Amino acid sequence: MSKIKKVGIMGGTFDPIHFGHLVTAEAARTQFQLDKVIFTPTGKPPHKKGYSVTPAEHRYLMTMLAINDNPFFEISRMEIDRPGLTYTVDTLESFYKELGEDVKLFFISGADAVLDILTWKDVDRVLSYCTFIAATRPGYPMDKLNEKISELKRMYGWEVYPMKVTGMDISSTDIRRRVREGLSVRYLLPKSVETYIQKNNLYR
Ligand code: NAP
């Protein structure tokens, strides 16, 4: 009898990836007994039109460096290679086809995504393909999130699991600001990623 595999899809812009993301993926893997987690950097995020996002190849390479030493972590080029704007529904559909029916997908992302999820393209299909894991930072206002989760459950029967993550108090925005201002980013992200940022003169 074939055992259902549980696969986490770790979606994010990862601009840059940091220890908060890595801790989140590892927490999801252990709490939800996932067989593996596939980091999937976004290509052209539709919700970031008008913001400057670092070219996808840099974000992909930094993510690859960061996950290198965890045998349960993989990376996918799916979103960065797909032309046009990046919609999660297309990604989940492709993973569903690629990995087969014996796989249960978990989409892991920041809790803010849940608050906005009703604006996503084909959201009903997004949630039919996966169980959603919403990572929260310490001090995150849980009332709003819990309210949204109950609404999604009541109205659509959707499953969203909030997950409190220790160490998630690191943010890509803060790291970019620190680099720009010449402040230290040591211990916020893997050394290999810090070196990549320096060598490629990112976020200056
Ligand atoms: P974002 O809006 O940049 O991030 C919102 C918050 O969540 C930030 O605080 C961010 O922290 C955090 N976060 C993002 N990804 C995370 C992760 N995997 N684990 C823990 N925290 C995370 O979010 P984004 O990164 O652009 O998008 C998140 C995912 O949702 C992506 O896969 C994106 O493609 C998908 N999405 C899809 C649609 C759609 O299909 N229409 C719309 C919006 C988002 P940091 O800044 O420190 O990362």
pLDDT at 67 (0 to 100): 98
Per-residue pLDDT reduced to its tens digit, 147-190: 999 999 998 888 899 998 887 679 999 999 999 999 999 999 99
Residue 190 is predicted with a pLDDT of 98
Q: What is the average pLDDT across 49-53? A: 77
Report the amino acid identity of residue 162: P
For residue 20, which atom of ligand 1 is closest to its CA?
A: 20
Q: What is the DSSP string of 30-74?
A: HHTT-SEEEEEE-SS-GGGTTS----HHHHHHHHHHHHTT-TTEE
Q: Is the Cβ atom of 110 under 6 angstroms away from ligand 1?
A: yes
Give me ligand 1 centre to Cα 2, in Å.
33
Question: Atom 7 of ligand 1 has which residue's CA nearest to it?
Answer: 110
What is the C-alpha separation between 47 and 13, in angstroms, rounded?
11
Q: Mean pLDDT score of the chain, rounded to an integer?
A: 93
What contacts 101, CB < 8 A, 6 or more positions away?
none
Q: Is 203 left (phi over 0), alpha (psi -120 to 50) or beta?
A: left
Q: What residues contact 70, with CB distance under 8 A and at least 6 apart?
A: 22, 26
Could you report the per-residue pLDDT of 108-122, keeping only the tens digit for each?
A: 999 999 998 989 999
Cβ–ligand 1 distance for 193 under 6 Å, the answer no
CATH match of 5-199 with 2.30.30.30: no
pLDDT of residue 2: 56
45 CB less than 6 Å from ligand 1? yes
* Global confidence as pTM: 0.95
Distance, CA of 93 to chain centre: 17
Distance 25 CA to ligand 1 centre (A): 13
Alpha helices for the chain (secondary structure H):
19-31, 56-67, 78-81, 88-99, 112-116, 123-129, 142-156, 172-180, 191-199
Q: Whose CA is nearest to atom 19 of ligand 1?
A: 109
Report whether residue 108 contacts ligand 1, using a CB cutoff of 6 Å.
yes
Site to probe by mutation for ligand 1, drawn from 9, 13, 125 as the one with most ligand atoms within 8 Å of Cβ, is 13
Instruction: Give the C-alpha separation, 77 to 81, whole Å.
Output: 6
Query: What's the sign of the alpha-carbon dihedral 204, 183, 110, 118?
Result: negative
pLDDT of residue 140 exceeding 90, the answer is no
